[in-house]
């Protein structure tokens, strides 16, 4: 026992195997048939066997059968032809290329072969311990707007996007926060969504995941303290609007308090202005599309989503919110939580008693708009935007709303366009 050493080289390995053979021969003799747990040679054999097993696990793992061999074995077992594999692999040419080793098996192919032919995923993908992502049990990754996502740099721009859809979307999900993000209640129709009925649910998911992925990439060391977002905090943010670079100042202030904020252009068929989301770390993140690049729209959307953080996200891990603010006055759009966020946003800009005693609601002259903005210490575009919304007259006071004034300030939109 004193001479036992760790196995570090192939030479040590061969010598240890030789010693194990000697011990097994010695212990199998007629005079050694009765096992003695304290027998020094038996103890040495046990120790050497453990050392060999440990070395082999690290340096001589049992090789997988090739994926092709596994498929051919299952075909032989079940009497299948190449034509029978087309539903799982995609086409006759793809089946031929897979079986000849000219094409790699994609995640979607592996999922189908695993499900229908019961071939282990780690054999198909040639990676020990591989499991097929449970996020795609009720989701078809090919339905995501892959070409548009690749064009924007959200996923790699590859020639075989559809074939590799599952691995590409899985990678985005991991960047966004993993399986918990993929199965969040946000993506099911519920009371936390102010979204157009024509919304493409796959595009909506992709946009939300991209916002969360960017926020995770930018994760700061600043800790978010639940409860920091109060109506007074919203008023502090709102008053930044009076500065020419107010959107930049607001972005920086939120990040200084551990609140993520990302500007990601909306995807087609999402009809989206913004969202209040939560990372798996618990940190809130606000996503804005800047769909309408106007000062009034930017500030109301920001305040609305920030109100959701203070009113509804803190202390309630199940809540997420996505918003098409054009639906504020739509039939069925009077969701209580959305109305609360609207009210907080309006109150943060102009307290109700100030609004009701002002002449602006009745006589919205340019002078009255500017005067009320000065009293409230906010940008005149916000006053004008409220009047335009209440009167549903979007030609009124258009000189104030600042079209094209927000996106150009935020350099990050160039990266997320």
Q: Find out whether 178 and 153 touch, Cβ atoms under 8 Å.
A: no
Q: Which position has the higher pLDDT, 8 or 121?
A: 8
Q: Would you state the pLDDT for residue 118? A: 85
Instruction: Give the best-scoring range by mean pLDDT among 101-115, 129-143, 237-251, 310-324.
Output: 237-251
Identify the pLDDT of residue 413: 43
Could you report the per-residue pLDDT of 192-235, keeping only the tens digit for each? 567 788 889 999 999 999 999 999 998 877 899 999 999 999 99
DSSP secondary structure, 43-105, as one string: HHHHHHHHHHHHHHHHHSPPPPPPHHHHHHHHHHHHT--GGGGHHHHSSHHHHHHHHTTSSPP
The residues facing 285 across adjacent strands are: 260, 277
Tens digits of per-residue pLDDT, 74-102?
888 888 999 999 988 888 998 999 998 88
Give me 2's structure tokens: 């004193």
Give the torsion through C-alpha atoms of 105, 106, 111, 112, to 10 deg. Answer: -70
Return the pLDDT at 36: 63
* Alpha carbons 327 and 248: distance in angstroms, whole number: 27
Q: What is the pLDDT of residue 412?
A: 54
For residue 160, what pLDDT is reported?
Answer: 84
Instruction: Please give the pLDDT value at position 185.
Output: 53
Alpha-carbon span 396 to 338, nearest angstrom = 26
Residues found in the chain: 417
Instruction: Report the distance separating Cα 244 and Cα 252, nearest Å.
Output: 15
pLDDT band at 375 (very low <50, low <70, confident <90, very high): very high
Distance separating alpha carbons of residues 368 and 362, to the nearest angstrom: 10
Question: Global pTM?
Answer: 0.72
The pLDDT value given to residue 417: 45
Q: What is the pLDDT of residue 1?
A: 52
Q: What distance in Å separates the CA atoms of residue 18 and residue 35, rounded to the nearest whole number?
A: 22
324 has a pLDDT exceeding 60? yes
Among 267, 296, 301, which residue's Cα sits nearest to residue 286?
301
**What's the pLDDT at 294?**
93
């Amino acid at each position: 026992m004193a001479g036992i050493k760790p196995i570090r080289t192939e030479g040590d390995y061969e010598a240890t195997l030789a010693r194990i053979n000697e011990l097994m021969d010695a212990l199998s003799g007629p005079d050694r048939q009765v096992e003695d747990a304290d027998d020094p040679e038996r103890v040495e054999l046990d120790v050497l066997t453990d050392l060999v097993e440990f070395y082999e696990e690290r340096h001589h793992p049992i090789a997988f059968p090739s994926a092709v061999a596994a498929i051919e074995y299952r075909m032989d077992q079940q009497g299948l032809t190449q034509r029978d594999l087309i539903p799982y692999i995609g086409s006759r040419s793809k089946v031929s290329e897979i079986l000849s080793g000219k094409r790699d098996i994609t995640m979607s192919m592996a999922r189908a072969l695993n499900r229908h032919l019961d071939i282990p995923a780690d054999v198909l993908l040639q990676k020990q311990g591989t499991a097929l992502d449970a996020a795609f049990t009720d989701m078809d990754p090919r339905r995501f707007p892959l070409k548009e996502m690749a064009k924007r740099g959200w996923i790699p721009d590859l020639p075989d996007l559809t074939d590799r859809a599952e691995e590409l979307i899985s990678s985005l999900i991991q960047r966004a926060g993993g399986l918990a993000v993929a199965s969040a209640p946000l993506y099911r129709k519920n009371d936390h969504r102010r979204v157009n009925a024509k919304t493409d649910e796959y595009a909506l998911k992709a946009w939300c995941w991209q916002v969360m992925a960017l926020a995770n990439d930018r994760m700061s060391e600043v800790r978010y303290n639940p409860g920091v977002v109060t109506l007074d905090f919203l008023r502090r943010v709102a008053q930044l609007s009076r500065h020419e670079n107010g959107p930049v100042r607001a972005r920086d202030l939120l990040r200084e308090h551990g609140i993520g904020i990302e500007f990601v252009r909306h995807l087609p068929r999402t009809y989206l202005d913004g969202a209040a989301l939560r990372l798996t770390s618990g940190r809130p993140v606000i996503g804005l599309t800047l769909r309408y690049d106007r000062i009034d729209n930017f500030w109301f959307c920001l305040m609305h989503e920030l109100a959701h953080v203070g009113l509804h996200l803190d202390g309630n891990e199940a809540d997420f919110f996505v918003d098409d603010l054009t639906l504020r006055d739509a039939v069925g759009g009077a969701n209580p939580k959305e109305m609360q966020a609207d009210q907080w946003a309006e109150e943060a800009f102009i307290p109700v008693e100030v609004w009701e005693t002002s002449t602006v609601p009745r006589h919205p002259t340019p002078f009255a708009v500017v005067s009320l903005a000065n009293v409230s210490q906010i940008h005149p575009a916000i006053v004008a935007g409220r009047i335009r919304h209440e009167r549903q007259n979007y030609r009124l006071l258009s000189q104030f709303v600042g079209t094209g004034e927000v996106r150009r300030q935020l350099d990050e939109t160039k990266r997320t366009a």
